[in-house]
């Protein structure tokens, strides 16, 4: 199944959720107010929206995610790869490497991920 | 709502002048700091937002009220843009399209004003809804924005950074904004907040929504948006190190989203005009103090000249360096738009009492006073009537009418003192217009009037008082000329005979002959002033109508000496009726002087040398047997005779006069005779001259009113001794009533010459045996005029003869 699309604001929300899940929705709204400056209704709206898209579930006012942080990151990466680098991993790596210094650990991690695939 | 709309229309039109000025300043001071532009736009906004304005003598606004509110009420709508050329173009259009038809229930100007104001309201509501709607939508989309710090928020819903919110403005930036751009972007947006641009821009939008019908203001709004951004950029980089400009420009470039539609403009800061802004940022130099001061000065001038309304005309007059007359005028409006001005001109004209609208002659401001420098001590006052307070303190009514239409002062007798001239309407039921003129040296009021026959009205043409003479019966203009007071008489001086030439040919004009200028030696008729016909100018032709009673019943017309007068054979042979004329326009006179002299063989000197005597001689062919001539204002009818040889001869030439100028007399013929002479009608010739008269119908009675003696009618021809009136009885010997009659007469005129004439009497309707019937008598003959006498006493009508000069 295709990982659903998550927008940037929603991703910020998900970051909070992943840290605290499972979490009571009222508590989640309080945290969003604190960290994102969202009103309660906005938080509920976003929960509802992500619920509809199948990203999170809300059972008895307890919210938890259906996708891991990595899933979402990979999906976002895929989308960016497709959009910006026309699906070419080398092009992406070249751009990525030029932009920041890669440590040996970073390179090892990258190789590990690539091999796993 | 219409009134509100008109008010806004006027505000918008006056503000347009300001917009043009701001555009001009922007063009001239291209290097000026942009905050000055913003200041200028603020002035435009002030002009638009303030329903009233201070008056100032320095105002350059041509007219504070280009579209007067009275346009809703006036029968003939006018605008007063303050620019003659515009008024001259627009007003005729308004007149032709919006002039109210008295029969229709509503004034078209009102209807249109209603339609336009409804359209305006729809537009206003629509644009405001759009503005509010897009703001609400944006606010909804920004709900999920996440707080970065303080009032800075990030959103995935937007493409470029902006400030949003009226009272707690927040800066919104996209998530993906490059880190290194953020300081510049924030500096820019924070500066917007410090400049309170988040108030000015929505304010501009609201004004735009109110004045949406003015395209200039749309231009203004777009430019305002640009100038706000540019001013903001300037403020940012002024407070920034020089080397930071590249970074700032890069940030600008990266943030430039898709070209901002006006849609994004209302309440948010879509970035506009990026290319120019980058250029400006890179080239920015602190503007020279001189330039700033100069631009500020211009701003002040714009504010004073265009933020204020022009002073009222009355005030203008006081500042006129050559005040010829102190005018205390409470009428604040300009005078009749497009025609004349309240200001005096070189000819010494003062327009004093002038209706705002020529069609609303009742609508004249009351209680006006005026003094003339050449008449110290005189105070003229208009308050429905015109009175004059004289140096000795007495007050005298000079003119009264119902109403007095207008009043002017102009020297029309050449004595260097202006005369007071006015148009008045007199009478109830039968109202006629006349011109009155008060001359100060004689303290006399002169009148130009011809009740029941002509109306005379005053107007100003090229600074000169001009009288228009219109026929009472149909309102046709018959003459126009400069008003002159000469030899104790008020008259008109024909200024342009060419105008008269065309006036003469106005359809509906009817003429009778006045003088027979030429009669062919072959004719057996006697040249009298009466051709026996009346002539009418019609759309489709020239009608030649036998005078009622001239041809019937049969009966010789006898003149002194008992010789039977034979009627003009040539004219009898001609076919009566309509001569078709397709083109009523004058042609050049087709003959040389020699050729003409040949045509009028044995004519008098004045006729044979006509082409050399007359300056303006024109020709209008009617048919093979007749043509018209225009000779320096006179209309001549020429009848020709084409013998078998084919060589044309001129048979007769008659000068023509308007039928009305000969005059008429009317009386009711009573069907119940109460005396010997009833229902007869009496005519007196001059002051009771001895008259020889014949009639062809009815009977003549010689009735000595002094003694009561009268002779039973024995003949249709009678000699009336001096002092006796000529009585005409419509009853024939057999008891029938004559409905038409021609009374030919001759008597010695004041100049010793015999004058000849014909009285044409007719009655069209009614049965004289059963009811009272109206008879009309007209006279035709050189120098003659007929008028009903003032009283019912005999004589009932007076015929007068004025010898030719």
> What one-character DSSP code corresponds to residue B132?
H
Interface contact flag, A10 B144, Cβ < 8 Å = yes
Range of the domain at B262: 2-289+298-302
Lowest mean pLDDT among A59-73, B269-283, B776-790: B269-283
* B370: nearest Cα among B388, B391, B392: B388
Residue B307 lies in a domain: no
- The alpha helices in B589-692, defined as continuous H runs, are 593-599, 605-608, 610-613
Residue B604 contacts residue B518 (beta carbons within 8 Å)? yes
Question: What local confidence, expressed as pLDDT, does residue B326 receive?
Answer: 35
d(C-alpha B38, C-alpha B231), whole Å = 8
Q: Does the CA dihedral B506-B511-B513-B514 come out positive or negative?
A: negative
**Phi–psi pair at B799, nearest 5 degrees:** -105, 130
* B773: nearest Cα among B698, B665, B668, B664: B668
d(C-alpha B350, C-alpha B714), whole Å = 65
d(C-alpha B677, C-alpha B683), whole Å = 13
d(C-alpha B622, C-alpha B616), whole Å = 19
Domain end residue (candidates: B436, B463, B495): B495
Question: What local confidence, expressed as pLDDT, does residue B104 receive?
Answer: 47
Give the pLDDT confidence of B451-461 residue by residue, as tens digits: 778 889 888 87
**Residue length of chain A:** 117
d(C-alpha B305, C-alpha B311), whole Å = 11
CATH of A8-67, one of 3.30.200.20, 3.40.50.850, 3.40.50.300, 1.10.10.10: 1.10.10.10
**Phi–psi pair at B237, nearest 5 degrees:** -75, -20
The alpha carbon of residue A12 is apart from the nearest alpha carbon of chain B, in Å, by: 8
Give the pLDDT confidence of B53-73 residue by residue, as tens digits: 655 555 656 555 666 555 555
Give the pLDDT confidence of B608-641 residue by residue, as tens digits: 888 888 888 999 988 888 899 998 888 999 988 7
Residue B312 lies in a domain: no
Query: Taking 50 as the threshold, does the pLDDT of residue B588 lie above it?
Result: yes
Q: Quote the distance between the C-alpha of residue B448 and its chain's center.
A: 22
Strand ordering across the sheet containing B725-729? B699-703, B725-729, B681-685, B797-801, B784-788
Query: Taking 80 as the threshold, does the pLDDT of residue B647 lie above it?
Result: no
Residues B147 and B274 both lie in one domain:
yes
Three-class HEC string of B491-509: EEEECCHHHHHHHHCCCCC
Q: Which residue in B146, B156, B157 is closest to A36 by CB distance?
A: B146
Interface contact flag, A8 B156, Cβ < 8 Å = yes
Residues 6+ away with beta carbon under 8 Å from B266:
B130, B131, B134, B135, B201, B202, B205
Q: What is the mean pLDDT of residues B295-303?
A: 77
Instruction: Find, in chain A, the residue whose alpha carbon is nearest to that of B139.
Output: A42
Interface contact flag, A9 B153, Cβ < 8 Å = no
Residue B308 lies in a domain: no
Concatenating the DSSP letter of every residue in B137-190 gives HHHHHGGG-EEEETTEEEESS-SS-EEE-SSS-EEEEETT--GGGHHHHHHHHH
Residue B316 lies in a domain: no
Planar angle of CA B416, B419, B420, nearest 5 degrees: 155
Residue B143 lies in a domain: yes
Question: What local confidence, expressed as pLDDT, does residue B421 receive?
Answer: 92
Average pLDDT, chain A: 80
The alpha carbon of residue A48 is apart from the nearest alpha carbon of chain B, in Å, by: 13
Interface test with B, best of A5, A6, A9, A49 (most B CBs within 10 A): A9
Cα–Cα distances in angstroms (integers) from residue A66 to residues B106, B439, B502, B775, in the given order: 73, 109, 99, 115
Residues B138 and B199 both lie in one domain:
yes
Query: Taking 80 as the threshold, does the pLDDT of residue B598 lie above it?
Result: yes
More confident position, B277 or B767 = B767
Instruction: Find, in chain B, the residue whose alpha carbon is nearest to that of A6.
Output: B156
Residues B65 and B98 both lie in one domain:
yes
The alpha carbon of residue A13 is apart from the nearest alpha carbon of chain B, in Å, by: 9
Question: What local confidence, expressed as pLDDT, does residue B464 receive?
Answer: 81
Q: Quote the distance between the C-alpha of residue B264 and its chain's center.
A: 51
Q: For residue B147, which residues of chain A lie inside 8 Å, CB to CB?
A: 35-37
Q: For residue B159, which residues of chain A lie inside 8 Å, CB to CB?
A: none
Please enumerate, as own/partner, the contacts of B335-338 that have beta carbons within 8 Å and a separation of 24 or more: B337/B78, B337/B79, B337/B80, B337/B87, B337/B91, B338/B78, B338/B84, B338/B87, B338/B88, B338/B91
Domain end residue (candidates: B243, B272, B302): B302
The alpha carbon of residue B254 is apart from the nearest alpha carbon of chain A, in Å, by: 17
Residue B658 contacts residue B471 (beta carbons within 8 Å)? yes
B178 touches chain A (CB under 8 A): no
Query: Taking 60 as the threshold, does the pLDDT of residue B264 lie above it?
Result: no
B105 touches chain A (CB under 8 A): no
Residues B703 and B619 both lie in one domain:
no
Domain count along chain B? 4
Question: What local confidence, expressed as pLDDT, does residue B550 receive?
Answer: 55
Q: Which residue in A9, A35, A45 is closest to B145 by CB distance?
A: A9
Question: What local confidence, expressed as pLDDT, does residue B126 receive?
Answer: 92
> What one-character DSSP code corresponds to residue B782?
T
Query: Taking 60 as the threshold, does the pLDDT of residue B343 lie above it?
Result: no
Instruction: Find, in chain B, the residue whose alpha carbon is nearest to that of A35.
Output: B147
> What angle separates helix B34-49 from helix B197-210, to the nearest 10 degrees?
40
Residue B501 contacts residue B616 (beta carbons within 8 Å)? yes
Q: For residue B143, which residues of chain A lie inside 8 Å, CB to CB?
A: 38-39, 42, 45
d(C-alpha B694, C-alpha B692), whole Å = 7
Q: For residue A10, which residues of chain B lie inside 8 Å, CB to CB?
A: 144
Residues B160 and B147 both lie in one domain:
yes
Domain end residue (candidates: B429, B463, B495): B495
Determine whether B623 is exposed, middle or buried from the number of CB atoms within 10 Å of its CB (0-12, 13-18, 19+): middle
Question: What local confidence, expressed as pLDDT, does residue B619 receive?
Answer: 92
Question: What local confidence, expressed as pLDDT, does residue B438 receive?
Answer: 92
The alpha carbon of residue B272 is apart from the nearest alpha carbon of chain A, in Å, by: 26
The alpha carbon of residue B156 is apart from the nearest alpha carbon of chain A, in Å, by: 6
Residues B571 and B670 both lie in one domain:
no
- What number of H helices and E strands is found in chain B? 16, 42
Can you give the residue ranges of every domain in chain A? 8-67, 70-116
Give the pLDDT confidence of B467-481 residue by residue, as tens digits: 988 888 778 888 888
Average pLDDT, chain B: 75
Residues B230 and B267 both lie in one domain:
yes
Q: Which chain A residues have any C-beta within 8 angstroms of a chain B C-beta?
A: 7-10, 12, 35-39, 42, 45-46
Q: What is the mean pLDDT of residues B129-156?
A: 85
Diameter of chain A measured on Cα atoms: 48
Q: For residue A37, which residues of chain B lie inside 8 Å, CB to CB?
A: 145-147, 153
Query: Taking 60 as the threshold, does the pLDDT of residue B338 lie above it?
Result: no
Band (pLDDT 50/70/90 cuts) for residue B254 is low
Give the pLDDT confidence of B366-405 residue by residue, as tens digits: 778 888 888 888 899 888 788 899 888 888 888 887 778 7
B147 touches chain A (CB under 8 A): yes
Interface test with A, best of B142, B143, B144 (most A CBs within 10 A): B144
Residue B600 lies in a domain: yes
Q: What is the mean pLDDT of residues B418-433?
A: 82
Instruction: Find, in chain A, the residue whose alpha carbon is nearest to that of B175.
Output: A8
Give the pLDDT confidence of B691-740 residue by residue, as tens digits: 888 888 888 888 776 676 666 665 667 778 888 888 888 887 777 788 88
Helix (H) or strand (E) holding A84: helix A69-85
* A66: nearest Cα among A54, A78, A79, A84: A54
């Amino acid at each position: 199944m295709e990982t659903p699309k998550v927008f940037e604001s929603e991703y910020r929300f998900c970051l909070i959720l992943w840290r605290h899940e499972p979490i009571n929705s009222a508590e989640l709204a309080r945290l969003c107010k604190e960290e994102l400056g969202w009103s309660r209704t906005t938080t509920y709206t976003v929960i509802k929206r992500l619920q509809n898209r199948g990203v999170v579930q809300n059972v008895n006012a307890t919210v938890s995610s259906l996708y891991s942080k990595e899933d979402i990151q990979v999906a976002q990466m895929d989308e960016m790869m497709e959009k910006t680098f026309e699906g070419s991993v080398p092009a992406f790596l070249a751009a990525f490497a030029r932009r920041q210094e890669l440590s040996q650990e970073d390179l090892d991690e990258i190789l590990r991920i690539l091999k796993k695939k | 709502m219409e009134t509100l709309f008109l008010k806004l229309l006027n505000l918008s039109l006056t503000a347009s002048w300001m917009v043009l000025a701001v555009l001009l300043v922007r063009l001239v001071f291209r290097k000026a700091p942009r905050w000055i532009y913003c200041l200028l736009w603020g002035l435009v906004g002030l002009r638009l937002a303030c329903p009233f304005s201070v008056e100032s003598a320095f105002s350059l606004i041509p007219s504070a009220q280009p579209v007067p509110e009275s346009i809703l009420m006036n029968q003939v709508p006018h605008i007063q843009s303050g620019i003659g050329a515009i008024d001259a173009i627009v007003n005729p259009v308004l007149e032709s399209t919006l002039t109210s038809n008295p029969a229709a229930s509503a004034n078209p100007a009102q209807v249109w004003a209603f339609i336009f104001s409804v359209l305006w309201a729809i537009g206003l509501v629509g644009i405001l809804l759009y503005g509010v709607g897009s703001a609400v939508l944006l606010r909804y989309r920004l709900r999920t924005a996440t707080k970065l710090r303080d009032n800075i928020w990030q959103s995935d819903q937007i493409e470029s950074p902006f400030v949003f919110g009226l009272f707690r403005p927040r800066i919104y930036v996209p998530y993906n904004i490059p880190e290194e751009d953020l300081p510049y972007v924030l500096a820019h947006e924070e500066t917007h907040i410090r400049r309170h641009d988040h108030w000015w821009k929505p304010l501009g939008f609201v004004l735009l929504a109110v004045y949406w019908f003015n395209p200039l203001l749309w231009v203004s709004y777009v430019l305002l948006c640009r100038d706000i951004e540019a001013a903001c950029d300037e403020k940012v980089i002024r407070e920034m190190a020089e080397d930071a400009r590249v970074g700032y420009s890069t940030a600008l470039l990266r943030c430039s989203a898709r070209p901002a539609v006006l849609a994004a403009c209302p309440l948010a800061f879509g970035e506009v005009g990026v290319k120019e802004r980058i250029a400006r940022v890179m080239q920015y130099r602190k503007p020279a103090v001189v330039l700033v001061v100069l631009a500020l000065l211009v701003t002040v001038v714009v504010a004073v000249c265009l933020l204020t309304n022009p002073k009222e005309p009355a005030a203008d007059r006081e500042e006129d360096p050559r005040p010829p007359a102190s005018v205390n005028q409470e009428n604040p409006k300009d005078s009749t738009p497009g025609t004349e001005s309240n200001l005096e001109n070189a000819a010494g004209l003062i327009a004093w009492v002038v209706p705002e609208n020529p069609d609303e002659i009742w609508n004249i401001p009351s209680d006006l006073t005026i003094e003339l420098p050449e008449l110290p001590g005189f105070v003229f006052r208009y308050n429905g009537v015109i009175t004059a307070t004289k140096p000795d303190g007495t007050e005298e009514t000079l003119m009264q009418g119902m109403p007095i239409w207008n009043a002017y002062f102009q020297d029309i007798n050449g004595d260097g003192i202006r005369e007071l001239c006015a148009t008045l309407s007199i009478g109830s039921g039968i109202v006629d217009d006349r011109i009155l003129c008060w001359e100060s040296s004689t303290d006399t009021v002169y009148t130009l009037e011809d009740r029941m026959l002509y109306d005379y009205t005053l107007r100003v043409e090229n600074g000169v008082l001009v009288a228009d003479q219109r026929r009472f019966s149909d309102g046709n203009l018959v003459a126009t000329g400069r008003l002159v007071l000469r030899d104790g008489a008020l008259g008109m001086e024909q200024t342009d005979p060419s105008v008269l030439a065309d006036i003469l040919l106005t359809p509906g004009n009817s003429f009778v002959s006045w003088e027979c200028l030429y009669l062919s030696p072959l004719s057996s008729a006697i040249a009298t002033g009466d051709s026996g016909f009346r002539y009418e100018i019609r759309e489709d032709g020239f009608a030649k109508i036998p005078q009622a009673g001239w041809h019937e019943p049969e009966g010789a017309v006898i003149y002194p000496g008992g010789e039977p007068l034979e009627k003009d054979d040539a004219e009898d042979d001609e076919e009566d009726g309509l001569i078709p004329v397709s083109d009523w326009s004058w042609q050049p006179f087709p003959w040389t002087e020699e050729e003409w002299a040949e045509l009028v063989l044995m004519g008098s000197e004045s006729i044979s040398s006509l082409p050399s005597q007359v300056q303006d001689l024109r020709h209008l062919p009617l048919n093979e047997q007749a043509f018209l001539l225009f000779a320096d204002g006179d209309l001549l009818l020429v009848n020709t005779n084409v013998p078998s040889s084919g060589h044309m001869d001129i048979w007769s030439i008659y000068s023509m006069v308007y039928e009305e100028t000969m005059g008429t007399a009317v009386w009711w013929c009573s069907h119940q005779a109460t005396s010997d002479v009833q229902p007869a009608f009496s005519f007196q010739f001059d002051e009771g001259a001895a008259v020889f008269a014949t009639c062809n119908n009815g009977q003549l009675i010689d009735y000595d009113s002094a003694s009561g003696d009268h002779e039973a009618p024995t003949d249709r021809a009678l000699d009336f001794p001096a002092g006796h009136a000529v009585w005409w009885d419509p009853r024939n010997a057999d008891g029938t009533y004559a409905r038409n009659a021609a009374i030919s007469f001759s008597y010695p005129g004041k100049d010793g010459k015999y004058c000849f004439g014909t009285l044409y009497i007719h009655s069209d309707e009614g049965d004289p045996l059963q009811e009272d019937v109206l008879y009309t008598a007209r006279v035709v003959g050189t120098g003659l005029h007929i008028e009903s006498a003032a009283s019912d006493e005999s004589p009932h009508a007076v015929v007068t003869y004025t010898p030719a000069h």
